[in-house]
Structure 1
């Protein structure tokens, strides 16, 4: 199977703005987050990029994002959720330890880093291997996207350990069960490309 995956981090949320750990709990998009998603929609339309299928995590912020990008039906996939931070969810971001987190959150009811990386990578590989999935849009989360990037992008190919900004587009080619990063387009670049 060959195809293109456009992986997008959800738009800015109220918790992003307040510097609160989200994980599996949810917060709505801010007006800025809605505008970020709408900008991606304008970019895809201008470039003539359409999708065979679309996916989000089961969390509302990804669904609000995709609904402002495209006007098509989408499937919710639990394994595209954000890293589960356990008891740290809803707390201030300032309480997070330095990255990489490894198994730090496990004793607090959260996930291990290797498990998040495997979960998201496996889910996207299974999606892309489905028949008729030549160009796919998926909306996920910051740390989930970072783990996917870490799995598939060699050191130096992307700013290693960096969380992609809200409503960043990560374009991957998929072939023979493998992903290759084509480009990452952040919101600042989208504004330039669209002349905004």
Structure 2
């Protein structure tokens, strides 16, 4: 039986606004981030979209976003956390490395700086969301995560030529997937906050 996953990126944060690298570190939602998350919640209400279960990353910007979208109870899950960028955390985004020839992500770059590789983030997200969708009495799920983590998850199911039309993934965008036989099928990106 097909199930639905609505995978959302958190609202705009202070670090997003200041163009700072924000992975394992955290910063608060801006007023825009708050208003955008509320718009998504209003959209879900107008569409009569309800969720059997809701989950967020353990990072505050994700849980704060979820609490603005819905008042239902939810579970915080470490596997939904953002890519850890190691010693680059909190630094200017201008320090992000250029992609190596033929690469579509940062690959293993951050491993040498106490961070995660692209593959580690992707495998963590896929494993976590598969486990979430296999929970009993689950038909429709909302999960709030992060830009880099959502990008790597999306790349597991689509090729880069398909993914790049959605980049950069905007704050508060919602990626809608179906889930069947342990596989996700991407349907659409909802960008109702913008």
TM-score (ref. length: structure 1): 0.93
Answer yes or no: is 1:144 the counterpart of 2:152: no
Equivalents in 1 of 2:168, 2:23: separation in Å? Answer: 14
**Partner in structure 2 of residue 131 of structure 1:** 136
Q: Deviations over 1:63-96 (max 9, x none)?
A: 1100000010110100100000000001000000
**Partner in structure 1 of residue 102 of structure 2:** none
Task: Identify unmatched segments of 5+ residues in structure 2.
Answer: 100-104
> What secondary structure is seen at the aligned counterpart in 2 of 1:23?
coil
Equivalents in 1 of 2:128, 2:168: separation in Å? Answer: 19
> What secondary structure is seen at the aligned counterpart in 2 of 1:145?
helix
**Partner in structure 2 of residue 194 of structure 1:** none
Equivalents in 2 of 1:6, 1:153: separation in Å? Answer: 16
Equivalents in 2 of 1:154, 1:93: separation in Å? Answer: 25
Task: Identify unmatched segments of 5+ residues in structure 1.
Answer: 192-196
Answer yes or no: is 1:105 the counterpart of 2:110: yes
> What secondary structure is seen at the aligned counterpart in 1 of 2:45?
helix
**Partner in structure 1 of residue 51 of structure 2:** 51
Native 8 Å contact 1:146 1:161 kept in 2:
no
Equivalents in 1 of 2:26, 2:9: separation in Å? Answer: 14
Q: Deviations over 1:13-56 (max 9, x none)?
A: 00000111111111000000001100100100000000000000
Aligned residues: 189
Equivalents in 2 of 1:41, 1:56: separation in Å? Answer: 15
**Partner in structure 1 of residue 180 of structure 2:** 175
Moved over 6 A (4+): none
**Partner in structure 2 of residue 166 of structure 1:** 171
Equivalents in 2 of 1:54, 1:153: separation in Å? Answer: 24
Equivalents in 2 of 1:142, 1:15: separation in Å? Answer: 13
TM superposition shift of 1:162: 2.7
Q: What's the C-alpha RMSD, in Å, of the aligned pairs? A: 1.4
**Partner in structure 1 of residue 38 of structure 2:** 38
TM-score (ref. length: structure 2): 0.94
